[in-house]
Each structure stands twice: as structure tokens, then as C-alpha cells.
Structure 1
Amino acid sequence: MKPRLHHDDVAWEKAEAITNAWVRQFFDPKILQSVAQFLSRHHGPGKIDEFSYLEKGSYNITFQMKNKNANSTVIRFVQPGSIMFPEEKVRNEVAMMRYINDQTAIPVPFVCHWGSREESPRGLGPFIIMEYVEHKTNMYDVLNRPGCPREERGVLNPDIREARLEALYGEVATVLLELSKTNFPRIGSLKQVDDFTWEVSKRPLSMSMNSLIRLGTLPRSKLPNTTFETTSSYFEALAELHIAHLINQRNDAIDSADDCRRKLVARFLFRKLAREHHLTKPLDAFDNGPFKLWCDDFRPANILLSEELKIVGVVDWEFTYAAPVEFSFAPPWWLLIEKPEYWPQGLEDWCSKYQRRLPTFLKAIRDQEERAIEQGWLASTQRLSGHMRDSWESGNFWIAYAARNNFAFDLIYWHKIDQRFFGSTSIPIDDVWKQRLVILEPAERAEIEQIVAIKVEEMQTRPLAWDPDGYTGEVADTLCENADNEPEREPSEYAPDERMYTGPTTLEELSLVGDGSFIVFNKLRSKVY
């Protein structure tokens, strides 16, 4: 059994081609000037000193404008091909950031302005303008093993000092406690009603939903489109989503007929457990809420630190929503930085290493709870440490993890969930599905065989079959096509005059400087014209 269900490589290549083609627009000085001029109008008074590329992340590209007389400002655009719900993503993130800024003590960037694609410079896409958070480093770089190349997946430094680790975990604990204090009557994303009012009125847009459309070729119509009144109904919807994903992923979802059966049996059994409320029974008292804020992308790379290694900002709140307490009551998966399904030594080794670090984290969060209770901003009934310990020891941690992570589902289900509910077995883990078939209804077994026949037949061809949003499709039809047809130019074709644009070769070379009245492109950062 492989540790992960493969992404659809055909869709993945197309998605990356779209993102790359869109990013290449910023190598055009006219477009970069338009972005800089647009940002300067929202930047406030004073002399503009520099406008430059700041960062290209997984979902966004960000540019920064510096001003000696004011805080630096950034503008961040959603990358088509990476985000399949650009307008919805930006609306949700702005509402969430403003809520967190107003209702909690978590430091988040102040949102100055935001808008849709139609309101963006040159129609580049939905954007957010926010204050830049001055910081020295981020928690990922502090926790990661020394010398780890940027292109490699990080892992917790095995030699990190226990005192430093506890201090860093303690910083994170305050953020988690703030999020867990929130109470909402439904599961879903927040909408800002007015300056001081927010309500849960939109579906819970999750990171997994984005991945399912982008890399799992799931039709958009198969996603949930409502809020949820109960935890049990949400878990059942997530279980249905696991089945729909496997059925609809066109390429690379299965290796053989038996591999398909194994994956379907796991998903049908998980749905059975969800329908009978076995997955949510341990926390049945919270089935009707209150629900807590949960951020799918809350991880060390998004936690900004000062030189003293104190949190000065937390960023990237796009996939944040009111969620079941099962999510926030589980200890963070990222204590080792790396996810269990990507751990090179396998799941059991991940668990062993995680078990070693968990007591340090629980001690750090207990200490923060005591301080918060003494300071009066946390009630004794709002502690998280006990719930997190229980979640790990009971195995509820894995239920929440499997529910949220579609591509890791099979590994987690067969190793951590199946035998808890359906009894231990001595047969090899890859063959347990044969023993479990009898648990399913005859109609379900027949449905499985029908699906297997279709999926095996699909293995004969590899078409692109996905359902992107309109903006992504437009980029694919225009920018990607233009990039494919554009001939490569030799270096001699570029103008040699230093006062003429010769074109940057990397994003890091994108820079604009200004004299307060106009802004021009300056590749070498050596002259202002």
C-alpha cells in the first residue's frame, strides 16, 4: 500500500503551466508599473522608496512597497492554477483577518484594501493590500534541520534544544488558545456583515476542497455548498467527498482492480462509521456546537518571529472556517514539521518521533493556559491541553486527520482507524479489505464492482478532465497558448543599452524605484530614470 493517493499528474502539469504562464506577466515592465502605481494610490502619503517582488508562495504572489515615512505595504494576488476559487478565497480571508484582528489578540496584518479581479490593475486577479509585518524569521526556519535545502521538505531539527523547542511551542500555544475561545453556531466560512459583526453564512472552504478540484479532478458541483448545523452531518459530507474523489479522479487514482477495491472498501466503511455517528460519538456533547475557528494552513512557515523568537504575525488565513471541535481539540500535526504520509521512514516511525515531542508541546500549552487563566483572558473550562492529550491517546486525532486529508486517507484509515472499530486482524494490512467486505451491504458491494470496472477501463487513456473556475480557464486559453507559441529569443536580440529594459531573468530581479512622483522599472537597482 502506497502512503498517498497520487495526484492526477495530467491535471497537476496543466495547473502548474497555468500558474507559470500567469506569473510570467510580471516580467513585463508595463504590468509591473501598473501594479506599483495601483499600490501607491493605497499606500498613503510620503515618498515611495522602492517597490519590489517579495514572495511567491503556493497560492499567492506578493509585492512590497517601502516608504521611509510609513509602514511598508504589500499587495498580494491569487495565482490562477493554484487557487480554484479565487474570489471566494479572497473574500473569506479578508473577513477572517478582520475578525481575528478585532476579536482576538492574535497579531495579523492589517487589511488596507482588497478587491475582485475587475477592481485589480490590468485585471490581474483578486488581491489584498495589507501592511507588511516586520520580522526576522519564521518558525519553520527556526525548527527545521540546519542546512536543509529550500527545495527539500523540511523536518524538525533532531538536535534542537528542549528549552528552545518548549519556548517556541509556547508561542504557538497562545494562538491556538485564542482560536479555541471562539464560538460559532454553524460550521462554515465567515462573512462580514458590518464593521463589528460577522456571521457563518458560507460553506467551509477548505484546503482539501481546493486540492480536490486542482489535483483530484473532482467536478466543482460535487463539493458541499452549504453550512452545517452539526458535526455529524459535516463528517458524513466529508466521507461522501472521499468516495466522490476516488470515483472522479481521472488519472493516477488506482494501480489495479484490487487496489481500487481496497480504496473503495475503506471509503465505504468510513462513510458507514460517519452515518452511524461512531466517528463523532466521543465528543457527542459538541455535535450541535459551539464550533471553533480552524485554519487548514496554520503551520510553522506562516508564523513570523522577531529576533527574540517571539510571534509578531501570523499570515495566510484563506482556508479558515468554523469547524468541529474534533479539529481544534487534536494536537497539531506539524510538531515534526513533516506530515505523516510524507515521512520517509513510514507512519510508525513518524508516530514514534511525534510521541517523543508531544509531551513537550502539552507542557508548553499547559503553562500558557495557567498564565492565561491568571491574566483573566482564558477560563479554566477553555483549556486545550487535556483535550489534545485525549485526542492522541484515543486515536481521535487520526479520525480528524483522515477526514480532512483526502490524498492521505488510505494510509491513515487502514493503519489507525479500521481495527479500532472493526476489530484486530492477523492478515497483512494490504488484504484486510477482503475480510471487511462482508460488513458492507450487498448493494454497496455491487456498487463497488461497478466502479472498479469503470476505473480499470479509464486506466487505458490519460485525458485532462478537470473543472477549473472561469478565470483559470481563461488564463489557460490565452496566456498558456501564447507562451507555447512564443519563440525563444537569443540574448543578442535584447537591447544592450542600459537605459532600456533588458528583461529580468528571475522574480527576485523584479524591482521598481521612485522619486515620489513617478515609478519606473529598474532591473539592476542602480539608477532612477
Structure 2
Amino acid sequence: MRLKATCRAVERLAEQCLGTPATLVPPLVAGGFNMLYKVHLAGDPLRPDVMVRLPCPSLVQFPDEKTVQEAATARYIAGNTQIPIPQHFSCGRDPTIGPFVILQYIPESRGSMSARLTTPNDDPSVTHVLNPDIDEATLEGLWGKAAACLIQLSRLTFPRIGALVEVEGEGNVAGSYSIAGRPITHKLTDMVRLANIPRAVLPPEGKTYSTADEWYVALAEMHLAQLVFQHNDAVESANDCRNKFVARQIFRRLAKQGRLSSFGFAADNWSAQSSKIDADELVAVIDWEFAYADPTQFMRLKTWLAAMKRAEESIPGVDQRDALPAPLSTYMRESWETGRFWLSYGARKSWAGFFGERGDVLKEDLWKTRVHLLTDVEGAAMEPFVESKMRESEDRVIVDWDPVDARKRLSEVLFD
């Protein structure tokens, strides 16, 4: 992505889309999932600089869907909230460099809210953690602006679960939006990128969901798929495998019992680092990849802005849940106290560790407290499955599954 040929292609693309001579301005900026190219437009005084954003092939597993959905989401939020969103000038696929977005340039001087609130450190690789000595007025002011964004996002409602795409044609006009894409979640990307899960067993392109229970079932089946197809480091021991098998089978059955819900907005990658500030004023919110319509209860989970970390980074062990900071709203407190937070959080995270109340039960014996909840068929299948996974763990290889064989293998543990 740093090759001269790619840089020249980016200049050509910007000139073609925006109709004015374009010159790349170094350095290139490597983000979490995208490469960013600052481009100067010589003949456009109203927008002298723009950013061309290309998904990184090694990190983004569904680049075309991700780019289209991200651009549609940003434009939709800009048109339906007061959240400051960088203007998106163009989005599409170039035959040379692939999917792209051209958007408003945000000056480097506008740092992130996360950087403003973190404990001072000269090492940029250190994870941001809230500075305990930060001025209370500064904290309240910035958190108030973040909360205002969350409130506006929580008011968005959608008829289905899925991702936004821009639509046009019969019955639609350019600039209208529809839930017509499958949710490209952080989890979905990580399952392919980190665990080599066959794409054939994941939700198909264009799949949306009309009820929350359909989506819970899809999430539960992705949990099972991760356990079945992740060949390396999926299980630590036979009892660890039993823990994971029992938990996933029970979770899927709970999901199939049916839950109706309204559908709101979820953004897996939204964080304090996504909020750009200037003199402590919020000037831009970026990173709308992995954003989609989701059951409303997911939006109402306890947020992790206070720690500026994901839950699994903040909690050394599930037993330390009660030591976390106070929730940010009454609903979030209720979800924490009832345990609904952990149900919804676990639904979205294939690698999250959760097995309900432990008491004095050892980790390796957790499955014994729930195994009686399995059906006879599920119980009979557990030991052969454990034996198979333990044999797999002896040989560290990358397995590429045939799509038909992968679907057949997953069906063997769904017991429908």
C-alpha cells in the first residue's frame, strides 16, 4: 500500500473523482484497519485537502462490504443527528486500488478524546487509560460531549437488524438508505482473520434479520463455528473443551427461545479514540466501520469509555466484575445488576469468558454444573467432540475447509 504505483493511483483517483489536480502529501497514516492518504487539491480553495481511505488487505476480510457500509453509515448519521461527521465526498471501487472512501481532511492538531484523557506517557504504544489526576471539570466536559453522541445514536431506530447501504433506483432516490447488508461486525472479521473460520458457515452477504431472536441464534451459531473450526489454540485441555461445548450449546438453546426487540444502532469500533477534539471541543467523530442496526439492549450495555478499554482488557477475570467503576445510567446499572449485560456481551464476543455464577467451583469443573442441561443428543456428542478437538491440538496447521464440507461439519453440532 506504500508502493509508488499505489500512491500515484491514489492521486489519479482523487483527481478523477473531484475534478481537480491532486498531489499526495506524505506521510501515509496506517490506522487500525485502513491506510490513509492525505491529498492536496490544487484547484479547490474550499477543500484544499482530503483523505483517501483504503482498507488494509491483511486486516479487513470483507473490504467491499465494509467500505460501502461504513460510508453509508457515516452519511446517514450526519443527516440524522447533530454528531460532527467528516464529509464523505466519494465512495466506490477502483479497478486498480480496490474499494475506497474520499472524505474531509481532519488536521493532525485535532487529537483524540482518548489522548486528551489518558495518563501522560511518551510511549505511543502504551494503551490509553484514564488519567486519575485529570481535572474534574475537563473530564465532565468531555464525557458530556461523548454522552451526547451516545444519546443521539440511541435514538436512531431501524426496521431490521443489519447494515446500512445507500440505495437508488425504482422507488428510491439517490441518498436514501436501507438496512440491506449483513452486519460486518468486529467479531465476524476476527473469526476469519484470527481463527480461519470458513466463510461458508458465516451469515451470507446481504443477510438481515427481522427479529432479535434470529440474530441471537446467528451469534450463537457463530460461537459454535469458532469452537468447531478454530484448529489452533481453541482449547487448553479436555475440560476446557467441555466448558466451551456446554456453554455454547446452552447459549444457542436460550437464543432459540425467542426475544423480540426494537432495533437501534451499534458501533463495535467506536471509542474515545474515534472522537477528535480541538481545544476540548468535539469537532469530528470517525471510524464507522463495524457499525450496524442491532437489538436496542446492545446499545444500552454498560459502556467502557471510563476505562477506555474493551471489557476483556479491563477485567483480568470474571470474578472481578464487582470492582468495576459505576455504570453511566440507570438502565446500564440495571443490566449490570441483573446480569443481562453479560448475556448480551457474551453474544457478541466469541473469545469472551463467561459461565455464570461460579461459587467455589474450579474452572476445569464448570461444565459439570451445567452438563445436565444438555439434551441426550448433545450430551452423547460431547465426548466424541472433545476427543476430536484434543487430537487436533496435537498438530498445529492451517486447515482450509471445502465450503460443502464446512457446512456439513457445523450442522453436526447444531442438532436441529
**In the alignment, is the contact (CA less than 8 A) between 2:38 and 2:51 conserved in 1?**
yes
Identity, % of aligned pairs? Answer: 32
What's 2:237 paired with? 256
SS of structure 2 residue aligned to 1:38: helix
Correspondence list, 1:463-478, <5 A: 463-465=397-399
Q: Which residue of 1 aligns with 2:58?
A: 81
Task: Structure 1: give runs of 5+ residues left out of the alignment.
Answer: 1-22, 281-286, 363-384, 469-529
Correspondence for 1:299 among 271, 285, 292 = 271
- 2:97 pairs, out of 77, 101, 124, with 124
Q: Provide closer, same or farther for how the CA distance between residues 351 and 35 of structure 1 changes in structure 2, counting only shifts above 3 A.
A: farther
Aligned residues of 1:206 and 1:319 also touching (Cα < 8 A): yes
Match 1:335 to one of 303, 306, 312: 306
- Alpha carbons of 1:393 and 1:435: their partners in 2 closer, same or farther (altered >3 Å)? closer
Distance 1:466 1:295, change over 3 A: farther
Moved more, 66-75 or 214-223: 66-75
Partner of 1:479: none
Offset from partner CA, 1:50-84 (integer Å, 9 cap, x none):
62234211210001023582322010111112011
Q: Which amino acid aligns with 1:465?
A: V
Residue aligning to 1:233? 214
1:363-408: CA deviations, max 9, x gaps?
xxxxxxxxxxxxxxxxxxxxxx432232223222222211111112
Structure 1 runs of 4+ aligned residues shifted over 6 Å read none
- CA distance in 1 between partners of 2:361 and 2:97 (Å): 55
Separation (CA, whole Å) in 1 of partners of 2:98 and 2:232: 30
* 8 Å Cα contact 1:218/1:248 also seen in 2: yes
Specify the alignment match of 2:257 in structure 1. Answer: 276
> Aligned residue for 2:160?
186
Counterpart residue identity of residue 405, structure 1:
K
Q: Deviations over 1:333-368 (max 9, x none)?
A: 23201223223754555652423xx3xxx3xxxxxx
Native 8 Å contact 1:98 1:111 kept in 2:
yes
State the secondary structure of the residue aligned to 1:334.
Answer: coil
Quote how far apart the aligned CAs of 1:467 are.
Answer: 7.5
1:110 to 54, 69, 87: 87
Q: Cα 1:459–1:343, aligned 2, differ >3 Å: closer, same or farther?
A: same
Question: 1:391 corresponds to which letter in structure 2?
Answer: S
Q: Name which of structure 1's ranges 245-254 and 332-341 shifts more when overlaid on structure 2.
A: 332-341
Contact 2:220 2:255 in 1 (8 A): yes
Question: Equivalent of 1:70, from 38, 46, 64?
Answer: 46
Structure 1 residues 78-87 or 459-468, which shifts more? Answer: 459-468
> Does 2:242 align with 1:242?
no
Code of the aligned partner of 1:394: T
Partner of 1:202: 181
Pair 275,50 (structure 1): closer, same or farther in 2 beyond 3 Å: closer
Q: Within 1, Cα distance between the matches of 2:24 and 2:338? A: 54
CA distance in 1, matches of 2:148, 2:315: 31
Instruction: Summarize the Cα distance change of 1:328–1:450 in structure 2 as closer, same or farther, 3 Å threshold.
Output: same
Give the SS at the match of 1:42: helix
Structure with larger Rg: 1
Q: Secondary structure at the match of 2:27?
A: strand
With a CA cutoff of 8 Å and minimum separation of 6, indicate the structure with the bigger relative contact order: 1
Whole-angstrom CA distance in 2 between matches of 1:33 and 1:465: 38
Look up the SS of the partner of 2:26 in the other structure: strand
Q: Tell me if the contact between 1:425 and 1:432 (Cα under 8 Å) persists in the aligned partners.
A: no
Instruction: Name the structure where helix makes up a greater proportion of residues.
Output: 1
Does the aligned pair in 2 maintain the 1:179–1:293 contact within 8 Å?
yes
Structure in which a larger fraction of residues adopt strand: 2
> Which residues of 2 match residues 330-479 of structure 1 at below 5 A?
330-343=301-314, 345-349=316-320, 351-355=322-326, 358=327, 362=328, 385-408=329-352, 411=353, 413-414=354-355, 418-419=356-357, 425-465=359-399
Q: In 2, are the aligned partners of 1:155 and 1:337 still within 8 Å (CA)? A: yes
Q: Deviations over 1:182-207 (max 9, x none)?
A: 11111011122233421112222211
**Amino acid aligned to 2:66:** K
What is the aligned partner in structure 2 of residue 29 from structure 1? 4
Does the 8 Å contact 2:51/2:102 carry over to 1? yes
TM-score, normalization by structure 2: 0.87
Name the counterpart of 2:68. 91
Match of 2:106 among 101, 120, 133: 133
Check 1:125–1:49 CA distance in 2 against 1; reply closer, same or farther (3 A cut): closer
Any gaps of 5 or more consecutive residues in structure 2? 168-172, 403-416
CA change 1:466–1:85 in 2 (3 A) is farther
User: C-alpha deviations, 1:155-189, integer Å up to 9, x for none?
Assistant: 22222233222211111111111111111111011
Rate the CA distance shift 1:438–1:299 in 2: closer, same or farther, 3 A: same
- Partners of 1:90 and 1:434 lie apart in 2 by 45
